[in-house]
Amino acid sequence: MDPSLAAELTQLARLAEGDEESTAVLQRLVDHAISLVPGCSAAGLTVSAAGGGLTAAVSDERITSCHDVQFRPDGSGPAQETLQHNEPRRIDDMAREARWPAFRAVARKHGFASCLALPLRTDLVPSAALNLYADRSDVFAGTTHDVALLFAAQGGVALDNATLYFQSRELIEHLQQALATRGVVERARGLLMSQHHLSSQEAFALLRTQSQESHRKLRDVATAVLDAHEPGRGSSDTPWNPVRHRSPATRPLADDAPRT
């Protein structure tokens, strides 16, 4: 194999780096298929879904038409069977092929003479298929078939890595948000302790009670406290309105509360 092609295939596993959306990874996978698989003139990626399959990415709208005819209720075709059976399907010549007449009619209308559907082996996403199309017959045979198989194998790795990448990034974002929320709540608790002579437990109980009775998130209540006591902030849409309560754990905070 051409060393440059081998290097390009290896790089597929890093498709997710720098992308903001998972759909961008799928689109880049399709685009790479056209550039790396000899003779491939168009490509699409389908994923399994209730009732059949969904088109996740295409090189152009011709592929959408070819997929739509396969995944309608009475449809069939190489992409549909590859998703269903997790096995490759190939048409060397649309004119000679006897299977899938409705699909072949649409494919030939768009100028395709051959196609190859390959399963993407992956554990982390619904089953997926890479569908390659060519405007010449007998394209996906011999060496080109081998290259396509290698591409599909690396494509499955790319999807797995992309899934882990976006899951990890989402987890980091959630952790960052949780830390930010904790910081706001701790500042509000400290302010209430200082301004109203409350213990740490009493200040937090007051924040929590206000959150529950006003049906707002604890972070939003804490932000309102900071806005009320720190001039110029004004970041909360709802002003701080402490709830009057006399539970054993907290002292009342209302008009008769100690002031500083």
243-246 long-range contacts, CB within 8 A, separation 24+: 243/206, 243/209, 243/210, 243/213, 243/214, 245/206, 245/209
What does the pLDDT look like over 107-166, one tens digit per residue?
999 999 999 999 987 765 568 889 999 999 999 999 899 999 888 887 766 776 655 544
What does the pLDDT look like over 152-207, one tens digit per residue?
887 766 776 655 544 545 545 555 566 667 778 888 888 888 888 888 888 888 88
DSSP, res 93: -
> What is the helix, strand, coil percentage profile of the chain, to 5?
55, 10, 35
Q: What are the φ and ψ backbone dihedral angles of 94, each rounded to 5 degrees?
A: -60, -30
- The domains of the chain are located at 3-168, 197-260
The confidence score (pLDDT) of residue 104 equals: 98
The confidence score (pLDDT) of residue 252 equals: 43
The confidence score (pLDDT) of residue 257 equals: 42
Domain 3-168 in CATH: superfamily? GAF domain (3.30.450.40)
pLDDT at 226 over 50: yes
